[in-house]
Amino acid sequence: MHKKSILLIAGLSFAAIGTAHAADLRTQAISATCLSCHGPNGKSGGAIPSLAGLEKGYFVQAMKDFKSGARPATIMKKHAAGYTDAEFEAMGAYFASLK
Amino acid sequence: MTINRRDFLKVSGAGAATTLITGCASQGGASAMKGNPKVVVVGAGFGGATCAKYIRKWGPNIEVTIVEPNDNFVSCPISNWVLAGMKSMNDITHGYGNLSKHGIKMVKDYVVGVDTGKREVKLKSGSSLSYDRLVLAPGVEVLTDSVGGYKEAEAAGKVVHAWKAGPQTALLRKQLEAMPDGGVFVMSVPTAPYRCPPGPYERACMVASYFKKAKPKSKIILLDGNPDIASKKGLFTWAWNTFYPGMIEYRPNNAPRAVDGNKMIVSTEFDDVKADVMNVVPKQRAGEVCGMAGARNDSGGVWCTVKLDSFESTTVPNVHIIGDSVLSNLPKSGHMATNHAKIAAASIVEMLAGRPPISVPVVANTCYSATSDTTAGYVANVFRFDKEKGYVTQPDGGATGQGDEINLAYAESWAQNIWADALS
């Protein structure tokens, strides 16, 4: 095998033994901090909306609109203000993947 | 290139071995050679339970054991609502049964010693647990010795702090119910930093809400050790003026020096205040187990300082401290404890695999406070990680100036979700 292939397989093996790759884990960790309010695995009980399975484009636009004020909000305006567009994209992809 | 299943497994095995070897090299420890890495978590509150759960989620090869002396989780957030009669003790009490579903081992015991050299935790039962990494999430130790006469009055059931939700919360509710109309409820606020900065002012709202309905001639005297309302000032001032005019007397710079359980008096530097119900909240420090680990390492020897990318102690290797015991600019809230827990969990998974801590770049705090039985407000802030400065507060966060009904509904939903995130 070529060296490149071995590295690729070594990368896969981290997933195989159950430890997520660092970049992926960073996205998961950022997203996990949202779940303190929005519920485990993005499934909420009560008035706070669930995030699990939201379409990515919808999530990203909602966050941008909370940030700009285009969409009326309570607490989400203050939260959205502190995150970057790149983080909205990464979190949106992750929440869309939750079933 | 094609890989059949057998080849893939063979190569995966090699990858796993490589991971273990780097893990050993960076830890310099023999314990990783003995099998799966071991994490011991002390305390199953918001921080500890959440950290244990997310370590298992992100690092399923890691063995996680929680040491917790109590049978149940009793939530401090929402415990003020019990004082108002809006919730029962049952509503804020939850079992630990679901944690085993994540492969977490629960040990009902109390830590009596930590040997950070041998990486071993000694338990009251006489047994001990070894660890590769130790997570301390004990919450705060309430320093009842700091107020004269407190211990005697507390033992006699004449004064409570109810700053750890549980039997004292239930007792305080009973005392408020038994108090005659026209009585005086005296409560105090410790000098910052203390657990849950808005908590005392929310409690004043909740007791006032109960008095307004059940015994409207009664009075609340709030003795604050701080020079001003320490959190959500606009929100609480609005609530006190709007819903409870004339009922709450606020006295800044009035830390209690002593209590007398027989005469029912709270003494400050200025005067003796006669009470029908006494709720004095003494100052606090990092939980006892942090002292055992030598991790109360701030200038006063009171709180724990940590590296904020991993929550590892700045001075005691392999020991991570999360939640209210940590001294930083991040607020001492249950919500923040769960987010400390997630940052620590991600970094512990990485560090046990021989990689650097993950440095989660952004984290937020959320805190709702009820202002009446139909309204609540909130504070929310986002913090971004900076290698030099730690977590830096971002602009455009802050607190609401008024409460409303929708935020009470959100507060209730928040509680259900954070309890589930930590425990289910």
Domains of chain A, residue spans: 21-97
Question: Which has more confidence, A11 or B305?
Answer: B305
Q: How far is A3 from chain B (nearest CA, A)?
A: 12
A10-40 residues labelled b (16+ CB within 10 A) or e (exposed):
beebbebbebbeeeebbbbbbbbbbbbbbbb
- Nearest chain A residue (CA) to B10: A13
CA distance B150 to B388: 42
Give the pLDDT of residue B34: 63
pTM of the predicted model as reported, rounded to 2 decimal places: 0.90
Q: How far is B202 from chain A (nearest CA, A)?
A: 18
Question: Does the structural domain B144-283 have CATH classification 3.50.50.60?
Answer: yes
The CATH number of A21-97, from 3.65.10.10, 3.40.190.10, 1.10.760.10, 3.30.9.10, is 1.10.760.10
> pLDDT class for A17, splitting at 50, 70, 90?
very low
Give the pLDDT of residue B33: 52
pLDDT at residue B16 greater than cutoff 90 = no
Facing residue for B413 by CB, picked from A13, A47, A83: A47
pLDDT at residue A4 greater than cutoff 80 = no
**pLDDT tens profile B31-66:** 445 699 999 999 999 999 999 999 999 999 999 999
Give the pLDDT of residue B312: 98
Give the pLDDT of residue A99: 85
Strands B265-267 and B258-260: antiparallel
Inform me whether the C-beta atom of residue B96 falls under 8 Å from chain A C-beta atoms.
no
Inform me whether the C-beta atom of residue B171 falls under 8 Å from chain A C-beta atoms.
no
Mutation for A interface: B61, B417, B419, most A CBs within 10 A? B417
Mean pLDDT of B322-349: 97
Q: Domain-by-domain residue ranges, chain B?
A: 16-69+108-142+285-357, 144-283
- Nearest chain B residue (CA) to A67: B396
Q: Do A40 and B424 touch (CB under 8 A)?
A: yes
Give the pLDDT of residue B22: 38
Inform me whether the C-beta atom of residue B385 falls under 8 Å from chain A C-beta atoms.
no
Q: What percent of chain B has pLDDT over 70?
A: 92
Residue among B261, B258, B319 nearest B286 (CA): B319
Cβ atoms of B202 and B167 closer than 8 Å: no
Q: How far is B134 from chain A (nearest CA, A)?
A: 19
CA distance B236 to B248: 11
Q: Do B19 and A17 touch (CB under 8 A)?
A: yes
List of residues 6+ apart from B268 with CB closer than 8 A: B223, B251, B254, B255, B256, B257
CA distance B369 to B235: 9
**pLDDT tens profile B177-201:** 999 999 999 999 999 999 999 999 9
Give the pLDDT of residue B27: 41
- Nearest chain A residue (CA) to B335: A36
Residues of B in contact with A22 (CB under 8 A): 350, 355, 358
**pLDDT tens profile B391-424:** 999 999 999 999 999 999 999 999 999 999 999 9
CA A40 to chain centre: 13
CA distance A89 to A59: 8
Give the pLDDT of residue B359: 81
**Residue A28, amino acid:** Q
**pLDDT tens profile B81-130:** 999 999 999 999 999 999 999 999 999 999 999 999 999 999 999 999 99
Residues of A in contact with B420 (CB under 8 A): 39-40, 45
Q: CA distances (Å), B312 to each of B5, B51, B284, B295, B319, in order?
A: 40, 13, 21, 10, 6
Which H or E element spans position A53?
none
Torsion of CA B324, B329, B334, B335, to 10 degrees: -150
Inform me whether the C-beta atom of residue B402 falls under 8 Å from chain A C-beta atoms.
no
Residue among B415, B245, B357, B101 nearest A46 (CA): B415
B1 by Cβ neighbours in 10 Å (0-12 / 13-18 / 19+) ranks as exposed
Does the fold of domain B144-283 match that of domain B16-69+108-142+285-357? yes
**pLDDT tens profile B162-176:** 999 999 999 999 999
> pLDDT class for A8, splitting at 50, 70, 90?
very low
Q: How many CB pairs under 8 A join A and B?
A: 160
Residues in chain A, total? 99
> pLDDT class for A9, splitting at 50, 70, 90?
very low
For the domain spanning B16-69+108-142+285-357, the CATH number is 3.50.50.60
Give the pLDDT of residue B191: 97
pLDDT at residue B5 greater than cutoff 90 = no
Mean pLDDT of B20-26: 37
**pLDDT tens profile B228-267:** 999 999 999 999 999 999 999 999 999 999 999 999 999 9
Give the pLDDT of residue B374: 98
Mean pLDDT of chain B: 93
A interface toward B at CB cutoff 8 Å?
A: 1, 5-6, 9-10, 12-14, 16-20, 22, 25-26, 28-30, 32-40, 44-48, 74-75, 77-79, 81-83, 87
Mutation for B interface: A7, A24, A37, most B CBs within 10 A? A37
